[in-house]
Chain A
């Protein structure tokens, strides 16, 4: 990112002009970054103090709001008693299944749409466009009726299924696959490779960035899901981490420590992934926009 903004050769006069601008800009950018990150710093720090301590420090605002006098891990251990870690395990299982199955589905579909011409292709495209134009949340309520009729309530399958078919991931992958020279596929087929082998040994390894991007989309969709697990799961032993947190907050909204510690843990994995893999995430955004 820093490299991307490295200055190109400039005349001295222009460089000076740029610098004049950048002082105000830097201050503004830093102030805004502070506003976005202050709430996060606040909960990270406060997750290490007791709920009574947090409550006492909320108002009036003072330095103790941000700097605890006594540090404790009590909230993180109370998450055990509240069933948060078990719920977190279910979130991990559900998200892992969704990413693996979702990647196989979206990438094979993208391969078929990128390399084959066939009748009905337009229809398939239309279905996939509907797949990302209609927000899942709006259809979660009727889907709940369908799934309960089929006896899928309170199952891992019910949690995984909505996370696997991501229209946007199909489009991004297809876009990447279209960038592959067709001579590669021809050569592979002249060697007697099947379509499956061409897909797996040529297209998949050469498009890791697009696959990582799709994995992030699938991951975010499941990890942050709230409405669907709220509807389809009513057995507490099957609840996911987000539901556990919201449930604890609804039951005892003054146990700030539990909420803060849970939020910190729930945010750790996405934070590491998003910052570490940010490049892949943004690249897809650009190509999505280019495509319009």
Chain B
């Protein structure tokens, strides 16, 4: 697609323009450069188009078609029917509400804890290097493994309840109760994600110039004031990056839910991502599933956009 957009005369300019002095060879060089650009870029552009843009278009198109589940007849165009059906469906309202609740809880928890941990281990703590590596270890466990570990740990007669019993608290149902299942998923996702997010914030903290803190010291600024008025504003880009990364990742949380709760109990962990999967493959209603994929991506883009506005907009 870049091909048609490149007129031969002035389309291609080398980044190091002055060197193309010999006028006669210029045209040929520009052509050969065009060939290199195509050769170097085409595979990546083609694969992103194939893997992201094509499925996005397919999802949008499929969401406008309808088919009786299980039927062999071709799907026919139904316009916005799938969307109006979803918007009028109370169980779908619950799916959206659960998704928004999950997003509103899991992302602040992860970002705030990651930030607190990063600040904690950034200071001169004895054995800080070892502690940082240990906190990073959950990143190494593939998400399926983490889901299984926590599924077993949170069993009604599992070690977490054993621990609660040890300190004199009553056992909790965790994943088996509608009231606690979503929070249990939040706990699992946080255990998986915080060390990873922390590492980015820690790298940002360590890149801050030491003089900033020296100046704060001279100003007799206390640790809290230093953090909120100096560290946090300087770290805004990293915080935004981590918040957006967490938000996008948590919108598409799948393995822990599919492996541990299958959206239950009573739909309490049935977030959009899982419901789109359930509709497409469990119930066999791929068109409703496609509409849910479209809605999921739209909600996610809106929330990420708001995050950019709020954090970036302060400039």
Q: Which residues of A contact B (CB under 8 A)?
A: 1-2, 4-5, 7-8, 14, 18, 21-22, 25-26, 28-30, 32-33, 36-37, 39-40, 42-43, 58-61, 65, 105-106, 108-109, 111-113, 115-120, 123-124, 127-128, 130-131, 133-143, 145-146, 161-162, 164-165, 167, 170, 182, 185-186, 189-190, 194-196, 199, 223-224, 226-227, 230-231, 242-243, 245-246, 249-250, 253, 256, 259-260, 262-263, 266-267, 270-271, 274-275, 278, 281-283, 285-286, 288-292
Contacts and interface: CB of A to CB of B under 8 A. Distances in A.
A282 B5 contact: no
Interface of B: 1-2, 5-7, 11-16, 19, 33-34, 36-37, 39-41, 43-45, 47-56, 58-59, 62, 117, 120-145, 147-153, 155, 157-159, 161-163, 165-166, 191, 194-195, 199-200, 202-204, 206-207, 210, 217, 237-238, 240-241, 248-249, 251-252, 254-255, 258-259, 273, 276-277, 280-281, 286, 289-290, 293, 296-297, 300-301, 304, 312
A267 B238 contact: no
B290 A170 contact: no
Chain B interface, DSSP helix/strand/loop, else mixed:
helix
B140 A109 contact: no
A158 to B, nearest CB: 11
A139 B51 contact: yes
A36 B296 contact: no
A92 to B, nearest CB: 13
Contacts of A186: 16, 19
Contacts of B48: 127-128, 130-131, 165, 167
B5 A142 contact: no
Given A109-B43, A123-B5, A292-B237, 19 more contacts: A4-B206, A58-B152, A58-B157, A65-B159, A108-B39, A116-B12, A119-B5, A119-B12, A128-B45, A143-B55, A165-B48, A226-B255, A227-B254, A246-B147, A253-B151, A262-B145, A263-B142, A266-B145, A281-B199
